[in-house]
Amino acid sequence: MHRSDATSSVVLEYASQGKVVATGYQYSNRYISVITLKDRKISHWRDYLDPLRVFAALEGKGVE
């Protein structure tokens, strides 16, 4: 992989918690974002999460 001095990447790990209004189900998930910076600006942003937790919360079910 070629890297220039003007490009770098940052990895963020974070979580959320809340309640789905439609189902009343408590929702939580963990995320990772990979951000690429070029010339001090964001040039690419990609998020990763567990989609099964999203679907379960919308259906009012739990995920182990």
Q: Is 43 a member of any domain?
A: yes
Q: Would 22 be classed as within a structural domain?
A: yes
E strand spans, the chain = 7-19, 26-38, 41-49
pLDDT band at 1 (very low <50, low <70, confident <90, very high): very low
Q: Decide: 33 and 46 in contact? Cβ < 8 Å.
A: yes
Who wins on pLDDT, 63 or 55? 55
Reported pTM: 0.66
Domain count, the chain: 1
pLDDT at residue 6, rounded to an integer = 62
Model confidence pLDDT, tens digit, residues 9-45? 999 999 999 988 888 888 899 999 999 999 889 999 9
Mean of pLDDT values over 44-50: 95
Residue 49 belongs to domain spanning: 7-59
Q: Residue 29: inside a domain, yes or no?
A: yes
What pLDDT is stored for residue 32 in this prediction? 96
Would you say residue 42 lies in a domain? yes
DSSP state of 5: T
Q: What is the CATH number of the domain that holds 28?
A: 3.10.450.50
